[in-house]
Structures are given as structure tokens and as C-alpha cells.
Amino acid sequence: MTDKFAHTVYMYDTVKGTSTAITNENIQAPRGVCVGPGDTVMVCSENMNSVVHLTVDGDFLSTYFVDMQVCLSKDGTRLAVTNCAKGATKLQLYKILLTLNN
């Protein structure tokens, strides 16, 4: 769940029955959220023109500077991003590659 004006994403743990408010300087006017690969969360940050990648605990992983709405494929291998600009709409499709860090 997002709060656009408070620049906050709320994560709900349905197993524990708890919720956490996540704020980060990269999350400005969050517009949408979807589940990312490997127990992560992708957040559309409208004012930053980016997608913010977080862990389920709310830890910051990365920022991807793209234009708006995001959707992840069911198998977690493709990320679709579209904007809402009048007259300049576009759809971008990304392949997600998981990497191992040693």
C-alpha cells in the first residue's frame, strides 16, 4: 500500500500480522507497487521518475530511472514499465537477471 503525499510505502506481513512504514529519499510520491524477484518489492516513485527496488523488510536495494507504471511477469523474468505522459506514452520491457554476489 502506498501514500503518495507522505512519500511512504506500507508493508504488511500477513504471517506475523504486522505492518511497517517505509520511507526513503528515493521514494517520492509512490504510485504503484508490485512483487519483485526473490522476495523483493518494486515501487514506482513518480516524482523521481524511477522504480525503487526494496527487500520485503524495506531495505533499499537499487533505483532504476525510468518512466512510471510497473508490472512483473508471473515467472519473475520480465518487468514492464509504462508512463502516463499525454502524447508521449511508451512501454518498456526489461529482462530480469538474478546475479549472485560473493
Residue 29 lies in a domain: yes
Whole domain around residue 53: which residue ranges?
A: 2-95
Residue 102 lies in a domain: no
Does position 84 have pLDDT exceeding 80, yes or no?
Answer: no
Question: Domain count of the chain?
Answer: 1
Does position 83 have pLDDT exceeding 70, yes or no?
Answer: no
Lowest mean pLDDT among 8-12, 50-54, 68-72: 68-72
Beta strands 70-72 and 78-82: pairing type?
A: antiparallel
Residue 101 lies in a domain: no
Query: Please, which pLDDT band fits residue 26 given cuts at 50, 70 and 90?
Result: confident
pTM for this prediction? 0.64
DSSP states along 8-43: EEEEEETTTTEEEEE--TT-SSEEEEEEETTTEEEE
Q: Do 68 and 83 meet the contact criterion of CB atoms below 8 Å apart?
A: yes
Query: Please, which pLDDT band fits residue 95 given cuts at 50, 70 and 90?
Result: confident
Q: Do 46 and 26 meet the contact criterion of CB atoms below 8 Å apart?
A: no
**CA nearest neighbour of 8 among 55, 51, 59, 43:** 43
Query: Residue 59's domain is classified under what CATH number?
Result: 2.120.10.30
- pLDDT at site 88: 61
